[in-house]
Structure 1
Amino acid sequence: MTPPVVDMPVARGVSMSALRRSVTTALASLGEDHLYDVQLVVTELVANVLDHTPGTGRLRVLRSANPCQVVVEVDDASPSAPVYGRSRLGEHRGRGIVVVDNISREWGCRARGEDGKTVFAVVDCTG
């Protein structure tokens, strides 16, 4: 397994701009459009942890060269899977996973035993 290019905690009060800067620095050789897609996926998945789970999480970003892809993984302590297109925060929310679905080649959720789950998304960076 490729080591993460970004591996950092997610907690209340985390600076989203600092997360995006870390991603930008780690993926500096990525094309601008692909980098923007990865930043958006990171923002949405981290926001889901902060908005919908009780506690902290961990962000990991992994990059592979062949095929060129970036995997964004976010751990959290909640056993509940993300809900596609609905939010308990109001009718104008709940589109984060829809955005992730539209940007990524695939996304999903893996249980981590009694420690919660990992939500992941794979963003292609070819072309």
Structure 2
Amino acid sequence: MSGDDAAWSVDLRGTDPSALSGVRRWTARTVPRLGPDHLSDLLIVIDELVANAYLHRGGPVEARLTVPTTPCRVVVEVEDHSPIHPVQGIPRPDLPEMPGQGMSVIRKLADSWGVHENPDFGGKTV
């Protein structure tokens, strides 16, 4: 990413899953120039990442959006307090509640995804 990239973040410490609708509104306001299909994909990705942090990792710390100068790209990052990496399950239509399904959705919608550790507070960024 370059110095020309636009970046925004929202502090999610101390929130609960009811904050998800606010995260979606914040995302739509923050990156308003996306077409409806790209915005829909972006909302699904950030919703899955933040929901996973609430469900599996004790809650998110921060969500960040970075819009690089490259057209049609948005970098979505969610920090949480857990060093445990997300599980990517194999999609099974007969078991829609199987853990890892959200990461499978993200894998389909994102060009790439990954995890890096945050030793400052013992967590990670997805």
TM-score by length of 2: 0.81
1:13-64 CA-to-partner distances (Å, cap 9, x unmatched) read: 4421111111111111110000000000000000110001124421011112
Gaps of 5+ in 1: 120-127
Equivalent in the alignment of 2:85:
81
Secondary structure of the residue that 2:116 maps to in structure 1? strand
Secondary structure of the residue that 1:7 maps to in structure 2? strand
Equivalent in the alignment of 1:92:
97
Equivalent in the alignment of 2:124:
117
Question: Counterpart amino acid of 2:42?
Answer: V
Question: Counterpart amino acid of 1:43?
Answer: D
TM-score by length of 1: 0.81
TM-align CA RMSD: 2.0
1:66-125 CA-to-partner distances (Å, cap 9, x unmatched) read: 243101000011001101117xxx971420000000000000000111521000xxxxxx
Q: Which has the higher strand share?
A: 1
Runs (4+) of structure 1 moved beyond 4 Å?
Answer: none
Equivalent in the alignment of 1:57:
61
Q: Identity of paired residues, percent?
A: 34
